[in-house]
Amino acid sequence: MTKNNRLQRESKLSRNRFFYDSNNAIVLFQWPNIPLSIWIICTLVTAYTSGTVQNISSLIATISLVIWTLLEITTGVNYFRRMLGLIILAYVILTRLF
């Protein structure tokens, strides 16, 4: 195998890893896992409550979303999922700071 062929093959594999998992299946979205499910439930509770319940629910939602993003960044099945985790983490940090 020539160097050029090897570089083309590595480039193709790198592109494939963006949307494909190790089984060559396209993975863009998956069923929600536990942290994401907690975030969804707490976000709904936050939208329909007020006072202390709303504050606690909002805090739990944020913590669970951060946990989900960290899991995606470190163990996402492809580069798209890892990038999605990084973008959402940046969004959470920026919205909480400003």
What is d(CA 32, CA 39) in angstroms, rounded to the nearest whole number? 10
Structure-model confidence comparison of residues 22 and 72, the more confident one: 72
Helices of type H across the chain: 3-19, 34-48, 51-75, 79-97
Dump pLDDT digits (tens) for 1-56: 566 666 555 555 555 778 888 787 888 777 779 999 999 999 999 999 999 999 99
Q: Residue ranges per domain, the chain?
A: 3-97
Residue 5 is given by DSSP the state H
What is d(CA 84, CA 67) in angstroms, rounded to the nearest whole number? 13
pTM, whole model, 2 decimals? Answer: 0.79
What's phi and psi for 81, nearest 5 deg? -65, -40
